[in-house]
Amino acid sequence: MRYTEHFDELCEALEGAGAFLVVEDSIGRVNVMTIGWAQLGPVWGEPVLTVLVRPSRHTFALLAKASHFSVCVPRRGELKQELAFCGSKSGRDYDKARACGLKLKDGAAKGIKYIEGCGLVYQCELYGSTRLAEGDPAPAALSGFYPGAKDLHALFFGKVIKADRSV
Ligand SMILES: Cc1cc2nc3c(=O)[nH]c(=O)nc-3n(C[C@H](O)[C@H](O)[C@H](O)COP(=O)(O)O)c2cc1C
């Protein structure tokens, strides 16, 4: 499917209970984190899904070394408890996929895992990253989201190599 298809569904999930960001480390361990912020569209002539991750997350350290990630969007109203768990517990303390009974499947390239049973899956190759600095967000965003100007998000750009429905 074209990567922009079902964009509304992606946004609805992000604005609701969230979606899963799945990252595999160099020895095959997989961490799952809930995200509510992402952007989808063309960048550098490529289809890009950008995720925003705070440096305090375990996922940040994993992404800094990763080659790929996936974003897995549950069907409307599904996997809410799992989203809440993966959005409140850290992969430093839990194997969250195992704890939630999420089944991981191999993606289209080495280094990609995705969650079986999600309605929408974006498989991405890491295509660059950047980190917000204190002067970047508008003052209202800075004071609202970053008390003490700390833990500003990093943006990880993922080139969408496969976007699938119902996998
Ligand atoms: C609905 C929801 C959306 C979230 N969105 C984000 C996000 O976009 N970026 C982020 O850095 N943290 C986000 N979080 C917080 C992380 O999911 C949470 O801190 C998680 O425990 C981090 O896991 P990790 O330490 O295994 O990476 C969100 C949490 C929830 C519940």
- Domains, the chain, with CATH or none: 7-165 (2.30.110.10)
Q: Which atom of ligand 1 approaches the CA of 84 most closely?
A: 31
Q: Biggest alpha carbon distance in the chain?
A: 43
* Ligand 1 atom having least distance to the Cα of 17: 1
- How far apart are the CA of 43 and the centre of ligand 1, in A? 24
Mean predicted confidence (pLDDT) in 132-151: 95
pLDDT per residue as tens digits for the range 5-52? 999 999 999 999 999 999 999 899 999 999 999 999 999 999 999 999
The reported pLDDT for the residue numbered 81 is 98
> How many A from CA of 70 to the centre of ligand 1?
15
Check: CB of residue 72 under 8 Å from CB of residue 115: yes
**C-alpha 4 – ligand 1 centre gap (Å):** 24
Each residue of 67-125: pLDDT tens digit?
999 999 999 999 999 999 999 999 999 999 999 999 999 999 999 999 999 999 999 99
pLDDT number for residue 167: 61
Pairing outcome for strands 113-115 and 104-106: antiparallel
Give the distance (Å) from ligand 1 centre to CA of residue 87: 5
List the residue whose alpha carbon is closest to atom 15 of ligand 1: 87
Structure confidence at residue 89 (pLDDT): 98
Rounded CA-CA distance 72/134 in Å is: 30
